[in-house]
Amino acid sequence: QKEVEQNSGPLSVPEGAIASLNCTYSDRGSQSFFWYRQYSGKSPELIMFIYSNGDKEDGRFTAQLNKASQYVSLLIRDSQPSDSATYLCAVEGSARQLTFGSGTQLTVLP
């Protein structure tokens, strides 16, 4: 079992729709959870992080964390073509390093 698992996609949604990205992790001792966005050939850039159970909203983005289920998700509301990218879920363990999932490729269709 991979430490951090994401649906590899690709995921396609129409412009204006909600995109839902999911991630599960295996280490129950994980502290913080991150969503990064990576455009092709570019560096991963942080969208948001969450460390408490529940929802955290930032603009069109909402991260949801359920530690009991070892599950974290990212919702993108009013998706735009510029949101088309690979979304990386990362989990911080006790050693302060991040473990990444393989990423979900999102395409927002105009």
Partner 1 sequence: EAGVTQFPSHSVIEKGQTVTLRCDPISGHDNLYWYRRVMGKEIKFLLHFVKESKQDESGMPNNRFLAERTGGTYSTLKVQPAELEDSGVYFCASSQARSGANVLTFGAGSRLTVL
Footprint of partner 1 (CB under 8 A): 2, 4, 31-32, 34, 36, 42-46, 49, 51, 88, 92, 95-103
Residues 6+ positions from 66 with CB-CB distance below 8 Å: 53, 72
φ/ψ (deg, to 5) at 4:
-130, 120
Nearer to partner 1, 21 or 44 (CB): 44
Cβ 37 to partner 1 shortest distance, Å: 11
Nearer to partner 1, 2 or 77 (CB): 2
Nearer to partner 1, 16 or 59 (CB): 59
Question: For residues 6 and 19, what is the distance between their CA atoms, to the nearest angstrom?
Answer: 14
Cβ 48 to partner 1 shortest distance, Å: 10
| Residue 102: other Cβ atoms inside 10 A | 15
